[in-house]
Amino acid sequence: MIDMKFYDAYMDYQYNVKGNSQNLFGKRIKTLKTFLNDAYERGANKHLMYKGFKVLQKETDAI
């Protein structure tokens, strides 16, 4: 099930195993939420716990 436990484990994996940035993690969560919203609308997903997932972003300097 995709819930806050999944979110926390996925965040740990993205940061500590993959070494990804906060912005990349936020982008991946945004994509996941889009996919899960579509699955909910099609009746394939009945759980809404993913709605509490935070899309994290950090301000960066433009180059």
Q: With a threshold of 0.85, does the pTM exceed it?
A: no
50 falls in which pLDDT band (50, 70, 90)?
confident
Output the pLDDT for position 7: 94
Is the Cβ–Cβ distance between 36 and 50 less than 8 Å? yes
61 falls in which pLDDT band (50, 70, 90)?
confident
Which residue has tokens 């912005």? Answer: 23
Is the pLDDT assigned to residue 46 strictly greater than 90?
no
Mean per-residue pLDDT of the chain: 91
Output the pLDDT for position 15: 95
Is the Cβ–Cβ distance between 37 and 53 less than 8 Å? no
Q: From 52, 62, 60, select the one nearest 23 (Cα to Cα).
A: 60
Is the pLDDT assigned to residue 49 strictly greater than 90?
no
Is the Cβ–Cβ distance between 37 and 7 less than 8 Å? no
